[in-house]
Structure 1
Amino acid sequence: MRNRLAVLACAVTAAATTAVTALTQVSASAAPRPEADPRIAAHFDLSHGQTPENIALKPDGTAVVTFAAARQVAAISPRGNTRILATLPAPTDGGVHTPRLGFALTAGVVRAHDGTLYFLYASGTTDLTGLWRLRPGGTPHRIVALPANGLPNGLALDEHHDRLYMADSALGKIYTAPTTGGTPTTWSAAPELASTGFLGVNGLKIHQGALWATNLDRGTMLRIPFGPGSRPGPVQIKATGLAGIDDFAFTGRGDEILAALGGPNKVVRIQPDGTSTTVLTSAYGLQNPTSVAVRRNVAYIPSAAYATASDPNLMLAPVASPRDSAGHTP
């Protein structure tokens, strides 16, 4: 397990080396103003591969996370208790052929209103790689097979049309499939989704008639409008300069976004005009954040500690209003 995490730690660090170096020189007193009173709601066991990669929320505030290195899906109660919901089978080769990483991992997760969970598994093998489903009280099984030479990562659910969208960070594609499962189709393979050597398209969210996506290598936030027949329109680059960007969430204020930047070890607020400001750093307990979810004006932020190798955790932070340089709410 330690060797596997070391491989990923090197990759995460390399994705934003300059930003990480700068961050280590920032003291707690010089850190930016946090969203408001952030706190660590749960700590996880790094030695057991409990590296939270993605998150979905239940109505009661329970967080469902994927533990990437443990091949698990877990529920974190509002009191911080962890319960394992599923452990996926290990590939017979140990996952050594998983693209870019060399070990099998669970990634994106979404939750339907009936409690059904959908999540992605990358194993480097044809029998396991793909989209998996877990119904309440049931057992997980694969419903969509995805290419074994890809790395399924971000996941978005469109319940209005009973469809799922899946980002492949290695192949630079977004696939789609019905929630009932079956054969996936390539929804977009636009050049803006491609990697430059490590991971390309990453996080996915559906928002205001478009599929939004991040590209980790390029440090970009993308918007792809849904056209006729839900086909993709032209890719719009909404923000740049976001080194190490992973997954993200909308705050509920229009197109305003909170995004996790894993390598730089920070969370940023991205405004509709593309400008971004840092709102949380390692000074408040972040350990290579991987994703963000927002519920009732509270941000849930999992940290996987891929590079810090210290304290994977789940942080909760009230989503404060944007502030000007004087600290006043505009």
Structure 2
Amino acid sequence: MYPLSCANGYKYPGTEAPYVLDIISVGGGLAATASDQSLCLFDPLRLDQGPLKAIQTDHGALSSAKAYSAAESVVCTTGENGTVSLWDLRLRPTDARALHIAGGGPSFFSLACSSQANALAVGTELANHQASIIIWDLRSPSAPRIQYNEVHSDDVTELNFHPSAPHLLLSGSTDGLVSVCDTRIADEDEVLVQTFNHGSVHRAGFLNDTELYAVSHDEKFALYDMAEGVANGSATVDFGDVRQVVGCQYVAGVFPKLNGAGAVIGVGSQDQEMFQMIHLARQGAAWGLDRDSVVALPGAHGSELIRSFYFIDEEQLVLTAGEDSCIKAWRPGN
């Protein structure tokens, strides 16, 4: 186990300070969203100096935020009032909103975007017996390009575009299904590439070109493969309840490696005031959790949950954000 020390941090002010929800690495620094509907930009190396920029979004309540173009510091946000905004964090806060889409329908629970495909997708809550995936082409965003109403039968909680084939969209739902759709196809009878039954989906995403992961709301973790010749619907690796496997209380997130060689899983324990990052890697022919190279953050965010984490390898820096209103930077000890 390799422990890191808290080297810097920032705490949102106020007697009822907000939860920090998401942190996203962008070219201009570190973008952060919070439960007070703010979108802020920080210098990750100087968190204690406070936000470089602060924007107030207007989604009713923020539900999801992702980078549309990390290199250009363009971030997308969505929320409970069924709206989506695109923000250019290179600009002054008053000029930063580059696009606003008013859905006028149910709450948006999840979000995916791809600058490569000029695409933005949202997943809705279940309303009037329908949960939808709505996709816009941002070159003509006045109306959705396509909408799927039958892929899921409950809240759509997760969306991710394929890293190298952005016409493929992964979705997860509280109906228990993880689905992969070919968004070039309009016919809902033909759109599904693969479906896996995992259990109520909290997080899911692609590990590489064919393999994906899923974490349920009760912390069950499994890997699946949509390649031809692999048994349909079955997990290739089923880790079961991660809490029992690694001795944690919750999964904060999963970060796939850019080269497709694995992922980093962030898990926390409020009782122990501990957060750990565990490498998911191939062990022989199969995937496994590397328990010999765990990175630990003792103290973490106290007894509060960590909502989001990120690591910058070249800086030997880990960043965490939590329900204690704090963003923290962690480094190897002296």
Tell me if TM exceeds 0.5: yes
Q: Which runs of 5+ in 2 are unaligned?
A: 291-334
1: distance between equivalents of 2:152 and 2:157? 5
Q: Which amino acid aligns with 1:50?
A: Y
Q: Give the number of equivalent residue pairs.
A: 267
- With over 3 angstroms needed to count, the CA separation of the structure-2 counterparts of 1:74 and 1:288, relative to structure 1, is farther
Distance 2:43 2:150 in 1: 40
Q: 2: CA distance between counterparts of 1:313 and 1:205?
A: 32
Write the distance in 2 (CA, Å) between the matches of 1:45 and 1:258: 32
65, 76, 86: which is aligned to 1:132?
86
What's 2:18 paired with?
Answer: 49
Of 115, 125, 128, 1:159 maps to 115
| Residue type at the aligned position of 1:136 | R
Larger strand percent: 2
Please give the residue correspondences for 1:1-330 in structure 2 after superposition, counting only pairs within 5 Å.
48-52=17-21, 56-58=24-26, 64=31, 66-67=33-34, 69-73=35-39, 81=47, 84=51, 86-89=54-57, 95=60, 104-112=61-69, 114-124=71-81, 129-139=83-93, 140-141=96-97, 143-170=99-126, 172-179=131-138, 182-185=141-144, 187-195=146-154, 199-200=155-156, 202-207=158-163, 208=165, 210-227=167-184, 233-240=190-197, 242-252=198-208, 254-261=209-216, 263-272=217-226, 273=230, 274-275=234-235, 276-278=237-239, 281-282=242-243, 283=246, 285=248, 287-289=250-252, 292-295=255-258, 297=261, 299=263, 316-321=277-282
Residues 120 and 153 of structure 1 are in contact (CA less than 8 Å); yes or no, is this contact kept in structure 2?
no
Matched-pair contact (CA < 8 Å) for 1:259–1:291? no
Larger radius of gyration: 2
Higher relative contact order (CA 8 A, sep 6+): 1
Distance 1:185 1:277, change over 3 A: same
Quick one: structure 1 residues 176 and 44, their matched pair in 2 at CA, closer, same or farther if it must change by over 3 Å?
farther
Deviates more, 1:317-326 or 1:105-114: 317-326
Counterpart amino acid of 1:255?
T
Shift of 1:259: 2.9
Deviations 1:126-168 (Å, cap 9, x if unpaired)?
xxx2233233244242623233442223333333332222222
1:224: Cα distance to partner?
A: 1.0
Contact 2:63 2:110 in 1 (8 A): no
After TM superposition, the structure 1 stretch with the greater mean CA deviation from structure 2, 214-223 or 314-323, is 314-323
State whether residues 137 and 145 of structure 2, in contact with CA within 8 Å, keep that contact through their aligned partners in structure 1: no
* Shift in Å, 1:64: 4.7
| Residue 63 of structure 1, CA deviation | 6.3
Deviations 1:61-102 (A, max 9, x none): x765544x23244568777958655443457xxx4xxxxxxx
Q: For the aligned residues, what is the CA RMSD?
A: 4.6
* Per-residue deviation, 1:222: 0.7
* Residues 176, 185 of structure 1: 8 Å contact kept: yes
8 A Cα contact 1:130 1:146, kept in partner: yes
Asked if the contact 2:121/2:159 (under 8 Å) is kept, the reply is no
Q: Measure, in 1, the Cα distance between the counterparts of 2:46 and 2:220.
A: 22
